[in-house]
Amino acid sequence: MLTRIDHIGIACFDLDKTVEFYRATYGFEVYHSEVNEEQGVREAMLKVNGTSDGGATYLQLLEPTREDSAVGKWLAKNGEGVHHIAFGTADVDTDANDIKAKGVRVLYEEPRRGSMDSRITFLHPKDCHGVLTELVTAAPKDSAEH
């Protein structure tokens, strides 16, 4: 069962400038940053708030590390802005299978590693009213590095 909005993914051309905007404008600080070679992105997770289920809500800022990455292609076509919305779930496998059974295309056969050692998959935007949708199961508390 989906429990919360985990994060909103925002594609940007310059991660450092975008982080500074969110810091100066809203007071959000970087909670975690990493480079995900598989997805071809450099990212920063800015924590917005905690939630009652022990999770949190973030803004995920994404800068492509290569033009042929999904975010790189998206930026070239659309420019900066909201790239996807992610919903938190305790069990990404079960929820992805349940949603797939309802006729929504799931983009990964098996969930992959996401930010902060989470497990993720995506739902096809054409099946979700034009919104690229991610499902996220957070890593156990003791395994996530900041």
pTM: 0.89
Model confidence over 64-88: pLDDT tens digits?
Answer: 999 999 999 999 999 999 999 999 9
Model confidence pLDDT, tens digit, residues 7-47: 999 999 999 999 999 999 999 999 999 999 999 999 999 99
Q: What is the mean pLDDT of the chain?
A: 92
Assess whether 134 carries a catalytic annotation: yes
60 catalytic? Reply is yes
Is residue 39 annotated as part of the catalytic site, yes or no?
A: no
Which is the catalytic residue, given 39, 63, 83, 134?
134
Answer yes or no: 38 catalytic.
no
Task: Please confirm, yes or no, whether 43 is among the known catalytic residues.
Answer: yes
Marked catalytic residue, from 39, 60, 63, 83: 60
Exposure class string for 100-109: b at 16+ Cβ within 10 A, else e: eeeeeebeee
How far is it, in rounded angstroms, from Cα 65 to Cα 2?
Answer: 31
